[in-house]
Structure 1
Amino acid sequence: MPRPEFCRFVWLGTVEYLAARALQDSLVEQVHNGDSPATLLLLEHPHVYTRGRLSRDEHLLSSEAELAASGIPVYETDRGGQITYHGPGQLVGYPIVNLRDWGGPLKYVRTLEQVIVDTLGDFGIDAHTEQGLTGVWTPGGKIAAIGVKIARGVAFHGFAININTDLSNYRHIVPCGITDRPVTSMAVELGEDTDAEAVRYSLVYRFARNMGMRMVEGSPEFVS
């Protein structure tokens, strides 16, 4: 039986969105060329709104000028999906994975959803997917968003899980273009703040199980 593929994971702390994007672009090239193993970047962004390929102008409820005045940028991206929020109290995961011998885009997105469902289950949260929608949900609302891009067979961008997120930051957008459903967080679902480090390690374990990979923790120094 073949040995599971090696995947490096690393917690980067708080990283500006554009810096994280530049790091992803570099790793996509390295993974494609075989110069780097699959890598799962785990981090938190300062307040930012990002617009995916399907984003509509009317889903940004405050002007970019208003948001810029409060120190919150809005960036266009090439990932799938629509507009979303990233900020403190949220776990962002950017897996850079070569899918050529692993499976196609649909299998990959559905696997990421299951990784998140299983992670939330480790904390007693009953989460699920929704037919025709991307992401992860609880009865209280959407708790995790997913948006990916695949270039030359390598997947990047990824997912965001609301842990202790201040949900009032979603008031400036129509999250993921869905007008009739709220967003929620682990803290809301559990009625208390959640240990973010514990969530990270649960997610790494669930990522390994669902992706069929052997995870090894890397040092943040590899990105410097």
Structure 2
Amino acid sequence: MRIIDLGLMEYEEAEALQLKTLETVTAGDEENTVFLLEHPKVITLGRQGGAENLLMDESLLAAQGIQVAQTTRGGNITCHFPGQLVAYPIWRVEKRPGGMKQFFCDMEEAVIRTCAHFGVAAIRRQGHPGVWVDETKKICSMGIGVRRWVTYHGLALNVGRDVSLFNAITLCGIQGAVPTSLSTEAGYDITMKDAKYVFSNEFRKAFTHPPMVAGQAPGKP
């Protein structure tokens, strides 16, 4: 695999790069690729909807330079902003053991291990893809698209303390869910550079030697 740091990139530019890379990975011209980046402030809607969970008028958001974008990923509404680590795996899953269930499990595992490195105990929440600190505090959102068994889109891990953009939405459309971040939960400021370094290592581990599918007992198919 190759992991590429794109720095800060506009949402549309990153989406175009994903689609271009998806074609080359699908054709076998590129190896599995993970893009790491931050986005300027943007609110995104998933294939399953999300506009109903937008709590501010789009004109007011636009006046603050905040875009609302329709996407082709799964899931509901979420937002991106500087201080949030976004990872877009362009990944072939067709022949990968465990299929999409394992793919999500491995993404969650990479985030859980990253959180643990900084002293934050994170968990999965049944029925809600992503990573949580408890049953209400969400630290990482996930949503992907798939074309010809190659994934795109991915995950967003809150690193910095400022998660105020989430005030403009009902987080992932889940009533009662509140955002949190690595820095908030760790009790000290974690740099994006450090978060990217740790996440890159944990992603490589999880996807090179994937953990058992969550809930599957040893020895069972």
TM value normalised by structure 2:
0.91
Tell me, yes or no, if the aligned pair for 1:90 and 1:165 is still in contact at 8 Å. no
User: Out of 193, 196, 210, which is 1:197 matched to?
Assistant: 193
> Residues of 2 paired with 1:109 and 1:208: CA distance?
14
C-alpha displacement of 1:137? 0.5
- 2:169 pairs with 1:183: no
Tell me, yes or no, if the aligned pair for 2:47 and 2:74 is still in contact at 8 Å. yes
Corresponding residue for 2:218?
A: none
Corresponding residue for 1:141?
A: 137
C-alpha displacement of 1:126? 0.3
Write out aligned runs for 1:10-49 (5 A): 10-49=4-43
> Residues of 2 paired with 1:194 and 1:203: CA distance?
13
Higher relative contact order by CA 8 Å / sep ≥ 6: 1 or 2? 1
Tell me, yes or no, if the aligned pair for 1:52 and 1:81 is still in contact at 8 Å. yes
- 2:110 pairs with 1:100: no
**Alpha-carbon distance change, 165 to 147 in structure 1, aligned in 2, over 3 angstroms:** farther
- Structure 2: tracts of 5 or more residues without a match: 210-221
Write out aligned runs for 1:1-224 (5 A): 7-103=1-97, 104-139=99-134, 141-212=137-208
Q: How many residues matched?
A: 207
Tell me, yes or no, if the aligned pair for 2:45 and 2:51 is still in contact at 8 Å. no
Tell me, yes or no, if the aligned pair for 2:161 and 2:189 is still in contact at 8 Å. no
C-alpha displacement of 1:57? 2.6
Once the two structures are superposed, what CA deviation does each residue of 1:91-124 show, in whole Å capped at 9, x if it has no partner?
A: 0000101112214112111110111001111111
Aligned-partner residue type, residue 197 of structure 2: Y
TM value normalised by structure 1:
0.89
Show structure 1 runs of 4+ deviating over 4 A.
Answer: none
Corresponding residue for 1:221?
A: none
Which 10-residue stretch deviates more, 201-210 or 17-26? 201-210
